[in-house]
Amino acid sequence: MDDRTNGGLKPLPIDRRDFALGAVFDLPKLSDIPEVFALAPKFPVKHQRTSDFCSAFTAASMAEYQDDVEFEPSYNFAKSKEISGDINEWGQDMRSAMKAGVKFGFLPKNKSPESLSSKSVEFLRDPKNWDRELDSIAAIYKKSSFFVIEGPYNSYDNIRAAIYRFKKERQVVAIGLKWAWPLSDTFLEEPENKGYGHMLYAYGWNGDYLLARNSYGSGVGDVGTHLIHKDVINHWIPFYGSMMMVDLPRDTVETYQKYGIKNDWSWWRKLLQVLYYLVSYEKTRT
């Protein structure tokens, strides 16, 4: 392949049913976030070759941070296609990739009979070619829910705040952008309106640059990592999205959203908020 990505990420349609991270969790103040921070990867840089599997490679890498298990991305791409229903269409959107991790989970690499080194892209993308018995193995690593990275700041600072808020849980953030740079470039300075949609994950930052890991092997960027300027992030995130998988049950999130509760609040504050909601609801009825 040449020194650019083949793309694979579709634009993200707006869905008001998405959970917003800042609505359920208190994000740290910008003044409390350090100038430099990173969650060190535990596994080698992945390589999606000429496939359009960037969304699944990113999602699998994100789960590896949380579970300390190496996963097979091709399985997740097929499962995301089962969800979206467009098996033969090129690429995938970020939401479907996250849904696959919540609905089906992640398949450990050492349990997977297939991979890009043994089968074609066309074979791997079709969920009918994956044994259903593998679903029970992947289900062990299901994520509870996923959140859009929205909060009180711009896209760049919301992403930094999200990573820092969940640093103990080692949760990183999926980011999408239109890729227009040679893969050899380490610093991505300005947004470009050419190229293809591409998904990576951010695991830290250095000043005005997000540290984002690609899925084209260790020979790209700085051993697989690119430093993406905040202007690029703020330009493209509204179009392609940024998301995080969080182990908070969906029904709990829905309850919090109904009553206007934040997960970080103390139990008594949560109780007061429920009582306030119920009193306000009764007043509107009368």
What whole-number percentage of the chain has pLDDT above 70? 97
Mean of pLDDT over the chain: 95
Find, among 83, 110, 80, 60, the residue nearest to 215 by Cα: 60
The domain locations on the chain are: 19-248
pLDDT in tens, 94-138: 999 999 999 999 999 999 999 999 999 999 999 999 999 999 999
What are the backbone angles phi and psi of residue 71, rounded to the nearest 5°? -115, 160
**Quick one: pLDDT at residue 4?**
58
Confidence of residue 18 (pLDDT cuts 50, 70, 90): very high
pLDDT in tens, 228-281: 999 999 999 999 999 999 999 999 999 999 999 999 999 999 999 999 999 887
pLDDT band at 7 (very low <50, low <70, confident <90, very high): confident
pLDDT in tens, 167-219: 999 999 999 999 999 999 999 999 988 899 999 999 999 999 999 999 999 99
Into which CATH architecture does domain 19-248 fall? Answer: Alpha-Beta Complex (3.90)
Extended beta strands in the chain, E state: 19-20, 36-38, 145-148, 173-179, 187-188, 196-206, 209-213, 225-229, 242-246
